[in-house]
A = this chain, B = another copy of it.
Amino acid sequence: MKVVIVGGGAGGISTASNLRKIDKNIEITVLTRDVNVAYSPCAIPYVLAGKIDSFDDIIMRTPDDYKEKNIDVITETEVTEVDSDKKTISYIKDGSVKKMSYDKLVLATGGNPFVPPMDGVELDGVFSIRNIADGVKVQEWAKNCKSALITGAGLIGIEIAYALVQLGLDVTITEMLPQVVPRSFDKDMADILKEYLEKEGIKVLLGQPITSLEGDGKVETAYFGDGTSIETDMIILATGVKPELDLAKMAGCDVGRWAIVVNEKMETSVPDIYALGDCVESKDLILGSNTISHLGTTAVRQSKTLARSIVGRKSNFNPVLNAMVSKIGNLEFGAVGYTTSFAQQNNIKPVVQKVEALTRARYYPNAKPMDIKVICDSNGVIIGCQIIAEERVAERIDTMTLAITEGLTCFDLSNVEFAYAPPVSMVTDPLILAVEEVSKKF
């Protein structure tokens, strides 16, 4: 069997590795535009920030490493055509068009940075960050800059903003919506993050979309919707990712509202074509509707299912909750499930409670404040959680992810045992405190 994988990001390369683990003989080819494979794009902001020494450090394996596993990785390649009847693809390598047949095709084409349609985005000094090459360009350009403007205060936006402050730049981040990280956090929680960013020296402008950029060859001025402007030496567009669907459409795969439609086996609507990662839709665990899950973890988990599907083994990819976590400076923040407003938009009447707790026993040195928000539906079923603290956030998000996955109510979780020791938690765990408090509202 010959498996051709288009895309060398987390989804594509993990599929190759997982397939090889299952079967020694399958012929596996990965085609990627990128020079590198097997690196963690999530780590790019941390390299920029100087937390990780160099971009080389975040490359886990080279194409040669894959050759040793008998996986053929073709880099710097553009796949231009899919013929799903003849089961072939065409690609350009070193200037010439080549053809390759497949028994199974995996579309792991990912997404491209969304570039807002406005004047001036083509100017020098305007960047999107999607891969290491982008990171290197930003790092180089920043050396000659005094100021930077990031547009989009989602996760990537604020991570990059913090990184550029570490490089000594005067950094402003601007967001169209009235809060930072709107996808994962409620405004009151997002405001804690905003304050932290400001404390770290980042200027945060909310409700301020950029409408155009100007400059002489390179960007110099950004104009906002209200007519005001700001001088800047560079612009980072952190305005989201648009799934890359051209090949899927060419192959005749069904495409939904956002991306390629796949079933729980990661099969597209076209026989022998599979897809995963940023270019597919996932099922939402709470409502069962289609959603997108642009997370490395989702791609990696999908790759396990996809590899098993290809060889005919049973495996289902479960619906997603989009659990996320990040760390900026000393502040760790994570979220899972629905925000209050997302719940409302979906006709759920949310019952919400925010509590302030501590990460250690009250009397234990260096106990840090922990803000937790729990969101339940009108029956008390937990549908969302947001946590911010200087430590011990990620795993609490994981506990809440499991609670939501299992359909627990706040009353159920109130009765669950939690481990305690003064240096690592409170005798009543912050999560328990939160669910006990929200329980009182029923």
Contacts and interface: CB of A to CB of B under 8 A. Distances in A.
Interface of A: 10, 40, 42-43, 46, 51-52, 57-58, 60, 295-298, 300-301, 316, 318, 320-327, 332, 334, 336, 361-365, 392-399, 401-403, 405-406, 408, 413, 415-425, 427-429, 431
Contact of A399 (B402, B413, B415, B427): B402
A297 B327 contact: no
Could you say which of A52, A365, A395 has the most chain B C-beta atoms within 10 Å of its C-beta? A395
B401 A395 contact: no
B361 A425 contact: no
Given A301-B417, A395-B396, A427-B296, A364 B52 contact: yes
A81 B362 CA distance: 37
A362 B60 contact: yes
Contacts of A327: 421, 423-424
B424 A332 contact: yes
Contacts of A320: 417
Nearest to A285: B417
B416 A51 contact: no
A272 to B, nearest CB: 25
B323 A419 contact: yes
B416 A405 contact: yes
A415 B406 CA distance: 12
Contact of A425 (B325, B416, B422, B424): B325
A394 B419 contact: yes
Contact of A403 (B296, B362, B402, B427): B402
Contacts of A46: 364, 422-423
Could you say which of A295, A332, A393, A422 has the most chain B C-beta atoms within 10 Å of its C-beta? A422
Contacts of A418: 297, 323, 398, 401
A152 to B, nearest CB: 18
Contacts of A428: 297, 300
A12 to B, nearest CB: 14
A365 B51 contact: yes
Given A51-B365, A318-B415, A394-B424, 13 more contacts: A43-B364, A43-B422, A51-B364, A51-B423, A295-B420, A297-B419, A298-B417, A318-B417, A321-B417, A334-B419, A394-B421, A395-B396, A398-B399
A196 B342 CA distance: 48
Nearest to A424: B394
Nearest to A401: B417
Contact of A419 (B52, B398, B423, B424): B398
Given A398-B429, A402-B399, A419 B324 contact: yes
B43 A420 contact: no
Contact of A297 (B58, B393, B395, B427): B427
A394 B361 CA distance: 13
19 contacts: A42-B422, A51-B364, A58-B422, A60-B362, A297-B428, A301-B415, A301-B417, A325-B421, A325-B424, A327-B423, A332-B423, A332-B424, A334-B419, A394-B419, A396-B398, A397-B419, A398-B419, A401-B416, A401-B417
Contact of A363 (B52, B322, B362, B406): B52
B323 A421 contact: no
Could you say which of A334, A420, A427, A428 has the most chain B C-beta atoms within 10 Å of its C-beta? A420
* Leading 4 A-B pairs by shortest Cβ distance: A395-B395, A325-B419, A323-B419, A394-B424
A252 B51 CA distance: 65
B417 A405 contact: yes
A427 B324 contact: no
Contacts of A58: 363, 422
Contacts of A429: 398
A387 to B, nearest CB: 10
Nearest to A42: B422
A318 B60 CA distance: 45
